[in-house]
Amino acid sequence: LQAFFSIQNVNEVTTEMITEFKSQLLLDKLSPKTVNKYITFFRGFFQFCTANQWIKSNPADSTLIPNMKETTPEPHHFSNGEYKLILENSQEYTQFFEFMYETGIRPTDAYFLTKKDFYVENNTMYINIKFRKNNKSFNVPISKIARGIVENAKTNLFPMFQSAGAGNKSRLTLKRCFNGNAQGYGKRYCKKRGIVMHTFRHTFAMRKLAAGVPLDIIAQLMGHSKTRMTELYARYIPKTNLIDYI
């Protein structure tokens, strides 16, 4: 949870975060049995924290454990209209959301990016980092829009994440982008469609597929070591050049 949400203290964890983490584990094709173990561990751990009065309540208590027949949910991807709403209402997080939309990078890897994580070769900008999730190297070209965000930034691309609680605020901001006239509409809208921060990553994959990008190229652009994960989005398409699809 610390790596996935970039949090520092146990009292920052919410039920919504654990539910989002559970959904991502299922999308990553972990078996319900394995996901059960995660949820059971969280319940025990946070019960211990509650008993020691480090937190007021157990955020994992109301998280449903998936049954053995539970299928992987279909990942939501943003429509053009949804993405327009995000850009219009995301305030100081606009460039952060735009960067994730353009690169498909995991939010936990985007939080602390600096200009040192990028370089230019043959007039193309590349991102060169190690994933926080598994410490694997990630070195791929990025789009012109993403490059513009990098070039216009100072040392840290998204300095708001240097302060505590910014990760939670960005998730709340995403939900508020869809607020209607009814109170809590944005939260209900996102919950019904499974919209979370990781939806930017799903959207990146679907956009590339719609543009005719081969599956193995999308896997490289997303940092998947195997196309098995990328097959969540489409069937195999013949190989082509990586840079042509940026």
Which range has the top average pLDDT, 1-5, 62-66, 212-216? 212-216
What's the rounded mean pLDDT across residues 211-219? Answer: 87
Q: Among all chains, which residue has been given the structure tokens 């590349």?
A: 126
DSSP code at position 112: T
3 state DSSP class of 8: coil
pLDDT of residue 220: 92
30: left (phi over 0), alpha (psi -120 to 50) or beta: beta
Q: How far is CA 137 from CA 112, 125, 182, in A?
A: 16, 16, 45
Q: What is the pLDDT of residues 129-179, one digit of tens each?
A: 998 878 889 999 999 999 999 999 989 999 988 887 788 888 889 988 998
State yes or no: pLDDT of 240 exceeds 70.
Answer: no
State whether residue 215 is helix, strand or coil.
helix
Residue 16: pLDDT above 70?
Answer: yes
For residue 243, the model assigns a pLDDT of: 61
Residue 230: what pLDDT? 79
Q: Nearest Cα to 108, choosing from 194, 188, 198, 203?
A: 198
Give the pLDDT band (50/70/90) at residue 69: low
pLDDT-wise least confident of 4-18, 157-171, 190-204: 4-18
How many residues does the structure list for the chain?
A: 246
Ranking 75-84, 145-154, 183-192, 226-235 by mean pLDDT, the lowest is 226-235
- Residue 118 to residue 242: CA distance in whole angstroms: 17
pLDDT tens for each residue of 112-133? 899 999 999 999 999 999 988 7
- In this structure, what token pair is assigned to residue 192? 């019904």
More confident residue, 186 or 1: 186
pLDDT digits (tens, 9 = 90+) for 75-126: 788 989 999 999 999 989 999 999 999 999 988 899 989 999 999 999 999 9
pLDDT for the residue numbered 141: 96
Q: Could you tell me which residue, 49 or 229, shows the higher pLDDT?
A: 49
SS3 state of residue 64: coil
Please tell me the pTM assigned to this model: 0.71
> How much of the chain, in percent, has pLDDT values that exceed 70?
86
Res 171: pLDDT: 87
Q: Is the pLDDT of residue 237 over 50?
A: no
